[in-house]
A and B are shown apart, each in its own frame.
Chain A
Amino acid sequence: MNSTAIAIPPKQSGSRLLGLPRETLLSWYEDMLLVRRFEEKCAQLYGMGMIMGFCHLYNGQEAVSTGAIKGAINPDDYVITAYRDHGQAISKGVNPKAILAELLGKYTGTTKGKGGSMHIFDRATNFLGGHAIVGGHIPIAAGVAFAIKYRGEKKVCLCFLGDGATNIGAFHEGLNLAGLWKLPVIYIIENNKYGMGTAVERASAVEDLYKKAYAYNMRSEVVNGMDVLDVYQKVKAAADHARATYEPTLLEIETYRFRGHSMSDPVSGHYRTKEEVERLKQSDPIIHLAETLKEEGMISDQYLDEAEERIKQIVQECVEFAENSPEPPIDELWKDVYIERSGE
């Protein structure tokens, strides 16, 4: 594989702050930083054996969840995603304490310890899950959009999926239905260049994934996923369009995963070189935003230090909350399998 072929579009100049208020931009910066530091803490806790099972970290992809969810949509819009779900949950406003408690299998977790890392759900924030079977949630997103349209609402559903997920049947059935029935769903391919250890061009007959929308008469666009502003702008445009017309959009967001596929996989190895990872880390979306904000005179080094400190504090509070939370009681095992009283 020719690793030099992988390139993230160059960062844009600072004049592109789109006239957004400083406060908004800083809240995005801190959201991205929180996701990064949260994931680093997860890696540490996983290493200590406190998080079990599969744990897929979001490092490198933060601008996607922040720009798309915290930036471009409203709190009452819906988000659904795959198993790499901590970042999107945080950007959606799911309490990070509850997320970490979930990872530690605690009763105070987002699903009382039942779902774990791959299955974060939060009804209160319209976060419809982490889903661990590749592609399984793609038609569900169309169903959510169906219900939005059925009820005559002006909401949208954002559905995040990986590049690898565009090769499974559920992707094609879901997109065809969304295109056919004009459902207000925005499919966001987070093209981080690999599905586990398989590069995009080794798995997909079409390398430009946005083109897959053509088959379903769906709008599509390529987005620079290392630039939170580009993500914000293009997801917002797609969401506005969906609210106005109910039409779906497919966005191919170019990004990169800085860590291994899951905590049990190496960062580099048979499928990508260390050099490639180091090179792509030069486009770190968090550093990119910090530099842009500095160039525009919006922030100082002092702000950056203070933000770092604030985020560190939040993550520490998450850890304390999670560690001090109780395990789920054993009788939880038999709960939530059926609704006892239906139809009321």
Chain B
Amino acid sequence: MAIVSLREALNQAIDEEMARDERVYLMGEEVANYQGAYKVSQGLLQKWGPKRILDTPIAEAGFAGIGIGSAMLGLRPIVEFMTWNFSLVAYDQIVNNAAKMLSMSGGNFSVPVVFRGPGGAAHGLGATHSQALESVYSHFPGLKVVMPSTCKDAKGLLKSAIRDDNPIVFIESEVMYGDKGEIPDGEYTIPIGVGEVKKEGTDVTIVSWSKTLAHVVLKAVDVLQEELNISIEVIDPRTIRPMDYDLIVSSVKKTNRLVIVEEGWPFAGVGAQISHEVASRAFDELDAPVERVTQEDVPLPYAHGLEIRSLPNLDKIRAAVRKVLYLD
């Protein structure tokens, strides 16, 4: 076991897969010469050279398209978006081309591309630079959406994503890049579509992922277990699509109560989908209606006080947990 930062874990995954498969290459803004806007690609240009580590112009639609076209011919591009907010400029490429190519071509062409970069809010970046887009991308059949919350998961899942023959939306978090965690020594992968119980518990299940799980939910759980004298189980699906409903349902069968905490907006959020699935698979197991915690249904403002009030936080999670326990 080694302790690494999340950016190092991702860097190792890219580096190892580049060593394993010469079809793998990385491109994006500032990934090469500048060593990555968030230093995820540090050292890779020096090691692999400019043929495989490419700086692009600010042209997201263009280089997403290069990724897709080259993947149709069998290359395995990793396309970095400086943040996922900027992927919206390439939305057409991802949604109309990457997601649909296999189906629309009747199986003629697959698109083994990984689109990756940080998503969600950081601190004070304002409405256009703070968006949690997992519900948007997981809407589209043909895309897989992966969102790790630990260093170990990040490395193992990114390696699986690079080897996957489908287009992958891999969403990281810029405020997690410095987080440290253990990763296994040597080669390992973590399968896409398989969640993990991040903490066992008996009274309430909380489903959450990525930064919201790592930075908000786990801390809230410590406080609430103590404060309410309860035991909370935390489920990390790790992949948003395909969603590991079986794991969630099995947890709900144990706790009979479910709270879903996500950073995105409430309307048509990922939690809405999970909530529906659990209601239809395990209605009789639920002792309370499913509760959701999301950000407020507004564009995220800059001012710190408004920002923290909008995003999921301890107070909102407390209210949801109390509600499913009928404590009010």
Contacts and interface: CB of A to CB of B under 8 A. Distances in A.
Contacts, number: 130
Interface stretch (B52-60, B112-120, B215-223, B315-323): B52-60
A118 B126 contact: yes
Nearest to B304: A105
Interface in A126-168: 132-136, 164-165, 167-168
A327 interface: yes
A216 interface: no
Contacts of A116: 124-126, 302-303
Interface string A311-344: 0000000000000000110101110010000000
A204 B57 contact: yes
Nearest to B59: A167
Nearest to B45: A270
Contact of B126 (A53, A196, A203, A204): A53
Contact of B128 (A133, A135, A197, A270): A133
B58 A113 contact: no
Contacts of B296: 333-334
Contacts of A136: 89
B302 A53 contact: yes
A269 to B, nearest CB: 8
A113 B306 contact: yes
A234 interface: no
Interface string B245-280: 000000000000000000000000000000000000
A198 B62 contact: no
B131 to A, nearest CB: 11
B66 interface: no
B58 A195 contact: yes
Most buried by A among B86, B303, B304: B303
B326 to A, nearest CB: 28
A203 B57 contact: yes
B198 interface: no
A106 B129 CA distance: 19
B63 to A, nearest CB: 10
B310 interface: yes
B301 interface: yes
Q: Which of A167, A198, A328, A332 counts the most B-chain CB atoms under 10 A from its CB? A: A198
Given A105-B124, A167-B57, A114 B302 contact: yes
Contacts of A165: 58
Interface in B77-131: 85-86, 88-89, 122-129
B305 A169 contact: no
A11 interface: no
Contacts of A334: 296, 298
B289 interface: no
Q: Is the interface of B mostly helix, strand, loop or mixed?
A: loop
Contact of B301 (A114, A135, A196, A203): A114
Contacts of B127: 114-115, 119
B306 A168 contact: no
Contact of B309 (A204, A269, A333): A333
Contacts of B297: 337
Contact of A333 (B88, B124, B301): B301
Contact of B89 (A133, A202, A332): A133
Interface stretch (B28-36, B137-145, B177-185): B28-36
Interface in A102-120: 102, 105-106, 111-119
Interface string B289-302: 00000001111011
B37 interface: yes
A209 to B, nearest CB: 12
B126 A115 contact: yes
A333 B304 CA distance: 11
A181 interface: no
Nearest to A51: B124
Given A53-B124, A53-B125, A196 B34 contact: yes
Contacts of A26: none
Contacts of B298: 333-334, 337
B154 to A, nearest CB: 22
Contact of B34 (A164, A204, A271): A271
24 contacts: A54-B129, A113-B301, A114-B302, A114-B306, A115-B302, A116-B124, A118-B128, A119-B302, A132-B128, A134-B58, A167-B57, A167-B59, A168-B60, A195-B57, A196-B37, A197-B30, A197-B34, A270-B35, A330-B305, A330-B309, A332-B301, A332-B306, A333-B301, A333-B309
The 4 A-B pairs at the shortest CB distance, nearest first, are namely: A52-B124, A116-B302, A53-B124, A113-B303
Given A333-B309, A337-B299, 14 more contacts: A52-B123, A54-B129, A111-B302, A116-B126, A118-B126, A118-B128, A132-B126, A133-B128, A167-B58, A168-B59, A169-B62, A203-B55, A203-B56, A337-B297
